[in-house]
Structure 1
Amino acid sequence: MEAILLCGGLGTRLKSVVKDLPKPMANINGKPFLQILLEFLQKQGFKQVILAVAYKFELIQDFFANDFKGMKLIYSIEKSPLGTGGGLRQALSYASQKEVFVLNGDSFFDINLKALSLEGQSKIILALKRMKEFDRYGEVRLTEAGFISSFREKEFVNEGLINAGIYLLKKDIFEGFILNDSFSFEDFLQANFKALKAKGLAFEGYFKDIGVPEDYEEFKRDFKG
């Protein structure tokens, strides 16, 4: 299996507690957050991981080099800001398989990745997390057949599903679309989910996005020891 980790974010909201580091290198009780993600992938049998990097990528490259516990690491380095979509599109050019897992480099979702599969003409399936009383995330709604029916903007929701930042997608997902060099993958998904025949699958595993200081500190407490 092969995965892409999106590690190019500036981590603006974490600047008060994580200074001068790429967000995936945020310290979690003595180890970088990215190491936790790589351990997660290694335990699930991945053989190759492509790191889509940008801001201070040298710190990531110097720390991990080209191998992590037998997994080959490949670096897709942005020469100019490409956004999550442009960064992913560039990283896909390094992929060797027709289907690739993609994970956000600033969130952790403890699920069995092999439960995600692509069927028929679907170009992508999203791992979704059921949450209660949230307003930080947009809500994702599904049809009875598991296709995405809508993405709702961020607003208070008593209970619903959120995009948890893990995808299984076809390597050719961007073919046939006219796109700028730099674009948001999330915006691309919301604009084209019907054409992509996008599906979603809900999981109940532990989820945390470390993108804000409060959740970053909570994740450190959860993973202490």
Structure 2
Amino acid sequence: MDAVILCGGLGTRLREETEFRPKPMVEVGGRPILWHIVKHYRHHGIKRFILALGYKGDVIRDYFINYHHRSRDLEVDCGAGALEVMPGRDEDILDARVVLAETGLESLTGRRMLKALRHIDGDTFLATYGDAVADVDIDALIDTHRRMGRLATVTAVHPSSRFGELALGNGMITSFAEKPQVATGWINGGYFVFQKKAFERLDPDGNVPLETGLLEELAQSGELAVHCHGGFWQCMDTYREMQLLNDMWNSGRAPWRIWA
């Protein structure tokens, strides 16, 4: 099954980093967040990815075109001009095929998905955003989609609280959690499964967001199933959230990390 990753947005709320590179290339633990997303899907057996490019897409193109040489030690024969790739750590290597699909600078997410469809093999495919990490069980997500038999399935997640959470008792603080994930309330966490047929509902000449242009209509017509994920999920919309993810990684407390 193929996976589409939306990589074309402007990332205006993270302008400190996206002035020079697209948001999926902003680093967490020394690697682009896009690397972490692909690594997670790859752990669940997904081998082929369609990256829907837009803003500063050439940065993503260059990264993957030169990925093998960036990830391994190299021995160069300067006289002959020969290049030998040396063995590297397995964790560094993404054993995947990546389609670099230009979907337009001004395209909204609905149009980006439509433009990516021509590269997708099969009638069922996965999709997500290029700016969030999670420990979603992709196999369980696919099982939910097949069991429900609808045109699309979206993963619902608990968002992170903007504030610290206190537990009170007898005039004392009994626990203190700094910006935890909330226990109630669900939001769209991405990590979709789609049938290609769902996109017949989009105007091929239109330019609408995926969320209001398609998902709302699917929900109203009873064609949008849900997979509830109560585990870790964190987007990277702001500089503070980028720092949070890097702190998690550097401290060894990154729930999304794939160790093999």
Return the TM-score normalized by structure 1: 0.82
Q: Which residue of 2 aligns with 1:23?
A: 23
Q: Which residue of 1 aligns with 2:228?
A: 202
Is the aligned partner of 1:64 residue 2:64? yes
Unpaired runs of 5+ residues, structure 2, are 69-92, 164-181, 253-260
Is the aligned partner of 1:217 residue 2:243? yes
Give the deviation of 1:93 after TM superposition.
Answer: 1.5
Query: Are residues 132 and 109 of structure 1, via their aligned partners in 2, closer, same or farther at CA, if it must alter by over 3 Å?
Result: closer
Greater helix percent: which structure?
Answer: 2
Q: Where do residues 81-160 of structure 1 align in structure 2 (5 Å cutoff)?
A: 81-116=106-141, 117-119=145-147, 121-131=149-159, 159-160=184-185
CA distance in 2, matches of 1:30, 1:120: 39
CA RMSD of aligned residues (A): 2.4
Native 8 Å contact 1:109 1:208 kept in 2: yes
Q: Which residue of 2 aligns with 1:10?
A: 10
For residues 74-119 of structure 1, the C-alpha deviation after alignment (integer angstroms, 9 at most, x for no partner) is 0110244210110011111210011100010011121111112234
- Look at both structures and tell me which one has the larger radius of gyration over its CA atoms: 2
Query: Are residues 118 and 15 of structure 1, via their aligned partners in 2, closer, same or farther at CA, if it must alter by over 3 Å?
Result: same
Identity, % of aligned positions? 24
Tell me the secondary structure at the aligned position of residue 5 of structure 1: strand
Name the amino acid aligned to 1:30.
G
For residues 143-182 of structure 1, the C-alpha deviation after alignment (integer angstroms, 9 at most, x for no partner) is xxxxxxxxxxxxxx98211110110010121114436431
CA distance in 2, matches of 1:46, 1:9: 24
Give the deviation of 1:16 after TM superposition.
Answer: 2.2
Tell me the secondary structure at the aligned position of residue 159 of structure 1: coil
Native 8 Å contact 1:49 1:74 kept in 2: yes
Give the deviation of 1:133 after TM superposition.
Answer: 5.5
Tell me the secondary structure at the aligned position of residue 158 of structure 2: strand
CA distance in 1, matches of 2:29, 2:202: 43
Give the deviation of 1:191 after TM superposition.
Answer: 3.5
Give the deviation of 1:17 after TM superposition.
Answer: 4.0
CA distance in 2, matches of 1:17, 1:77: 22
Q: Aligned residue pairs: how many? A: 204
For residues 56-75 of structure 1, the C-alpha deviation after alignment (integer angstroms, 9 at most, x for no partner) is 11110111128863311001
